[in-house]
A and B are shown apart, each in its own frame.
Chain A
Amino acid sequence: MLAKAAQLPKDVAPSRDLWPGIAARLGEAQGAPAKPAFRWPLALAAALAVASVSALLTWSLLQDSQPAQPAVVADVGTTAGEFVPVSYGPNSGLSAEELAVRDDLAAQFRGAFEDLRPETREAVVKNLAVMQAAADEIDAALAKHPASGMLKGMLFGTYKQEMQLYSTVVTARDGLTRRT
């Protein structure tokens, strides 16, 4: 009997298409296959954090006639006091020209940075760390969704926030009083 059975066709077509029923259940399945990590919410949160802390820092700098009220920033464990420009990942889509403009402004900022009060310097460094975290999150999300206009916009928003930070400090430098 086994020998006879071995000659039977292995495939048997069902009498109806079973896929629609399966597809309906896949939609309901809680344990659907691991879809790519959907990082947009994280990236969005990071971008919003950048916007909020940058606004606070800008306000703090412009109100600098009063001593030390460092901007409220997220605690990202950064060592205070060291200025490090944001590093954008390979998926950022930023052009060489945009990065060159940023580098030029960052160079001007570096001089002004030394004139800031220590607490303001610390706030600036922490803001930049928040921007770096946002850039990293968005870059990781862009690696999986390279065509996403939303993510590109968020990344460019981070870039603009960084530029605004440098610009604000450089512009206000003459008005800032060194208080150490």
Chain B
Amino acid sequence: MPAPLADSGAELVTRASRGDSGAFEALYRQHVGRVYGLCLRMTGQPESAEDLTQDTFVNAWRSLPGYEGRSSFSTWLHRIAVNAVLAKRRSRQGRNEVSMTDEAGEQMEFEVEAAMDEATPIDIERAIAGLPAGARDIVVLHGIYGYSHEEAA
């Protein structure tokens, strides 16, 4: 499960699902940092992350009537964000990405791991951005956002 976010409460979600764009903007303000952070770390590209963040909130707005509250709003929103990133990656012909199981990917991950001891947060961010897509997803989703291994896979 992703790390729980500070949900805005049922009231904003209910109002937004009824078409209140003001309530939805409030939800955006509360959640944009985490959604953008997720998209940025999964893509490694600020511009793509901004586009994907916007896609995530537009998709969430469209899907709100189907949101039944079984999971928290933030968890639900995260799922939309992850799906948006993966869809965009597929559309960009993900075959160009190096999978975690590729030999080159394993080597890169090993080198990154070796450099972690003295790393600053900025170094870690760079290292994560430099990982192959599959490995990066695991580190971002499991390491930063608290997904289980199964969910991250």
Contact = CB atoms under 8 A, between A and B. Distances in A.
Q: Do A and B come from one complex?
A: yes
B139 A32 contact: no
Contacts of B61: 22, 26, 29, 32-33
Interface string A18-45: 1101110110010111111000000000
Interface string B4-34: 0000000000001111010011001100111
A54 B28 CA distance: 52
Contacts of B46: 14-15
Interface stretch (A5-13, A55-63, A69-77, A127-135): A5-13
Contact of B54 (A6, A10, A21): A21
B73 interface: no
B69 interface: no
Instruction: Summarize A's interface: helix, strand, loop or mixed.
Output: loop
A147 interface: no
Contacts of A15: 46, 50
Contact size range, A? 20 to 34
Contact of B37 (A2, A10, A33, A34): A10
Contact of B143 (A6, A16, A21, A33): A6
Interface residues of B, number: 44
Contacts of B142: 2
B139 A33 contact: no
A18 B119 CA distance: 31
A34 B65 contact: yes
B37 A11 contact: yes
A11 B33 contact: yes
Given A1-B109, A14-B49, A34-B65, 12 more contacts: A1-B113, A1-B116, A5-B128, A10-B145, A12-B37, A14-B36, A18-B32, A18-B36, A18-B54, A25-B54, A26-B21, A34-B19
Give the top 3 A-B pairs by smallest Cβ distance, nearest first: A11-B33, A5-B143, A12-B37
